[in-house]
C-alpha cells in the first residue's frame, strides 16, 4: 500500500478528497454564475420597465389626440313642452335593415369636391290601433249580448332608426373638401323614410289590424261577452240597430 508523506495517511485518500473538493468548488462556481446572471437580467428588466411604461403612456396620449373621445355635457335645464295621454294598442313590430347611399357634388370635379357615404341603417317600425279614437257609436251590443266593434284604422306609431346598430360603413371625400356636414343627417332621414315605406309595402297595417282584433277578442271573451264581431265602414254585413254602450 502506498502511503503519503504524512505518517499513516494513504495516498489514494488524499486524491479522493481533492476530487470531492474540486467538484464542490465547481458546483458553487456554477451556482454563483446562475445567481449573477439572474441578478443582471432582473436589473435590466427593472431598468427597462420605466421606459416601457413611458412608451405606453405616450402611445395612449397620441391615440387620444388622433382619436379623441367626444365629451357630452347635457344642459341641466330640461323643458317639457307637452304631456299627452295615449291609448295606443301596439300590435306589431318590424325590424328592418336598409343600405343607403348618399352623395353630393358628384360630377367631373367629384374627385376634388365630392362626398359619398354608405350608410347601414337598422330601424324599427311599430304599428297598431289608437283606441283613443274610438267613439261611443263605434261600440254596441245586440239583444243576445254580442259586441260589435268598429276599430279605427291601423297606423304606424313609430318608424325610427336604432342608433346603436346604424353606422356609416364607408365614406369617400374629394381631395379639396372635408365633406358635407349635413350628408349623414340626410342619409339618416332617407333611411327612416325607406324603413317606413318597406314596412307599409309588406302589409304591416293589415297585420296590425288583425292582431288588434285578436287581442281585443280574447280580452272581451275573458270579460264574459259571448261573441265579438268587428265591423268596418265599408263592411258588407248589415249592422243591427242597437243601442250604443255608455
pLDDT tens digits, one per residue of 65-85: 655 677 778 878 888 888 877
Digits of tens for pLDDT over the chain (246 positions)?
444 454 454 555 556 666 777 777 777 777 778 777 777 767 766 665 665 565 666 566 666 565 567 777 887 888 888 887 788 999 999 999 999 998 887 877 767 778 888 999 999 999 999 999 999 899 888 888 888 999 999 999 999 999 999 999 998 887 877 777 888 899 999 999 999 999 999 999 999 999 999 999 999 889 888 888 999 876 544 444 444 444
Tell me the pTM. 0.64
Sequence-distant (6+) residues with CB within 8 A of 11 are 2, 3, 4
- Provide the pLDDT for residue 157: 96
Amino acid at each position: 500500500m502506498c502511503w503519503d508523506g504524512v505518517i499513516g495517511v494513504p495516498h489514494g485518500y488524499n486524491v479522493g478528497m481533492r476530487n470531492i473538493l474540486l467538484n464542490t468548488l465547481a458546483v458553487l462556481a456554477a451556482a454563483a454564475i446562475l445567481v449573477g446572471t439572474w441578478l443582471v437580467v432582473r436589473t435590466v428588466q427593472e431598468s427597462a420597465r420605466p421606459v416601457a411604461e413611458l412608451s405606453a403612456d405616450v402611445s395612449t396620449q397620441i391615440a387620444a389626440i388622433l382619436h379623441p373621445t367626444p365629451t357630452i355635457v347635457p344642459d341641466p335645464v330640461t323643458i317639457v313642452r307637452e304631456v299627452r295621454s295615449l291609448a295606443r294598442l301596439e300590435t306589431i313590430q318590424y325590424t328592418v335593415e336598409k343600405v343607403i347611399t348618399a352623395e353630393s357634388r358628384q360630377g367631373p370635379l367629384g374627385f376634388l369636391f365630392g362626398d359619398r357615404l354608405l350608410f347601414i341603417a337598422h330601424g324599427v317600425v311599430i304599428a297598431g290601433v289608437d283606441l283613443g279614437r274610438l267613439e261611443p257609436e263605434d261600440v254596441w251590443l245586440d239583444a243576445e249580448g254580442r259586441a260589435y266593434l268598429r276599430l279605427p284604422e291601423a297606423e304606424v306609431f313609430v318608424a325610427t332608426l336604432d342608433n346603436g346598430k346604424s353606422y356609416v360603413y364607408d365614406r369617400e371625400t374629394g381631395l379639396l373638401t372635408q365633406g358635407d356636414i349635413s350628408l349623414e343627417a340626410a342619409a339618416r332621414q332617407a333611411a327612416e323614410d325607406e324603413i317606413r315605406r318597406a314596412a307599409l309595402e309588406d302589409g304591416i297595417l293589415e297585420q296590425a289590424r288583425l292582431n288588434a282584433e285578436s287581442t281585443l277578442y280574447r280580452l272581451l271573451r275573458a270579460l264574459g261577452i259571448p261573441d265579438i264581431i268587428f265591423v268596418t265602414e265599408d263592411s258588407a254585413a248589415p249592422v243591427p240597430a242597437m243601442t250604443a254602450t255608455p
